[in-house]
Amino acid sequence: MISEDNALVEFVRDAVQNNFKSAQEGRPIYDEKDFVRIMTPGDTKTTVYREATDKDKQRFPKAWANYERGLEEVTEGTPLDQWNQISKSQTMELAHVNVRTVEQLVSVSDANIQRMGPGYMQLRDRAKQFLKSSGDDAAQAKAERENAELREKIALMQEQIDALLATKASDDDQPAKRGRPAKTEG
């Protein structure tokens, strides 16, 4: 399942009985069609499963593109079982309500988080803080990389300046020729 547009989305191919053809042939005839399963993180009671429409394909382009390429649906984000601020039992309880990543936990609505029971509101707040601090760490790492690149450029430019000054100094050490410049024929 892919988390997209605040929903967990999965496109699947399913067989649907074609009643008209079945009546003509006198036996069950099935057509394969594309379906979409849409779930809300934190809510096990609301699952939409229906034939996929063009609107679904536009609303969930990443999930549709993966489905078309035949890729296995991959959950994006930090898996809850890899997050050290959650217990194994909480991970399993959240998986039951279709929440498998820290990012999905952050997107659970207030109403659904309250239904989950005591402690999950605080857990969601910790998840938000985790994502915020991770973003801050990423920004700091990027700034440090850019700073290191700029220092390298400055060092290279300083070497070039030193080389130019050295060649100018050696030119200045040469005695100047006296007299008129040589006449060129033109």
Query: What is the pLDDT, as a whole number, of residue 169?
Result: 74
Q: Which of 50-54, 84-88, 128-132, 182-186 has the highest mean pLDDT?
A: 50-54
Could you report the per-residue pLDDT of 84-114, keeping only the tens digit for each?
A: 888 888 888 888 888 888 888 888 888 888 8
Could you report the per-residue pLDDT of 12-40, keeping only the tens digit for each?
A: 988 788 888 878 866 777 788 899 999 88
List the chain domain ranges: 1-76, 77-165
Query: What is the pLDDT, as a whole number, of residue 89?
Result: 85
Query: What is the pLDDT, as a whole number, of residue 32?
Result: 83
Residue 77 clears pLDDT 90, i.e. is over it: no
Cβ burial 115-147 (10 Å sphere, 16+ → b, else e)? ebeeebeebbebbeebbeeeeeeeeeeeeeeee
Could you report the per-residue pLDDT of 134-175, keeping only the tens digit for each?
A: 766 667 777 778 888 888 899 889 988 988 888 877 776 666
How many degrees, rounded to 5, is the angle at CA 9 between CA 40 and CA 97?
Answer: 35
Q: Against a cut of 0.75, is the pTM above it?
A: no
Query: What is the pLDDT, as a whole number, of residue 55?
Result: 95
Structure tokens at 104: 């999905």
d(CA 103, CA 4): 11
d(CA 123, CA 105): 8
Query: What is the pLDDT, as a whole number, of residue 61?
Result: 92
Structure tokens at 157: 């430019």
Q: Which of 108, 126, 122, 124 is nearest to 44 (CA)?
A: 108
